[in-house]
Amino acid sequence: MTKIKRIALVAHDNRKTDMVEWVEWNWKKLIKYDLICTGTTGKLVNETLLKKMEEEESKAAISMKRLKSGPLGGDQQLGALISEGKVDMLIFLWDPMTPQPHDVDVKALLRLATLYNIPTAVNRSTADFMISSSLMESNYQPILKDYGSYINRKIEIK
């Protein structure tokens, strides 16, 4: 990871208000980084950042890539970016109390974040700790598990 982190922001519908509040609180830090958001979350994050920048008369530019909405493939797009090494950290405010029609995609996304050892926050407290870390301002090389033995395993075909 370089100093300019690529931060993915995702929030389920019942957590979008939490994401907006978190972005309002951390907007000065977030505009320093490249943001990747799923559909509606990206729209809300962009609107929130623009509003805060206008209030403060900030001339900073927002670097944001918006993917599709999670249930429409955005979670899978984000998972692909993680597997390609194009995401440095994930802040995913998920709703543990509401069944999600795309729950398998959510599970796959969190699995990939774990597999590729990227810092992942699933609640605001963890997101606060991550964005406040001194590692945010420095290069960092996460240790990746070597899956060579899995990739090169012998498979018997009967």
Active site residues: 75
List Cα–Cα distances, 83 to 21, 54, 75, 125, 130, in angstroms.
Answer: 29, 36, 12, 26, 21
In three-state secondary structure terms, 10 is strand
Q: Which two tokens stand for residue 45?
A: 């994050």
Q: What is the DSSP letter of 56?
A: T
H or E stretch at 91: strand 89-93
Q: Token match 């370089």: residue?
A: 2
Rounded Cα distance between 89 and 98, Å, is 24
Contact 118, 87 (CB under 8 A): yes
H or E stretch at 62: none
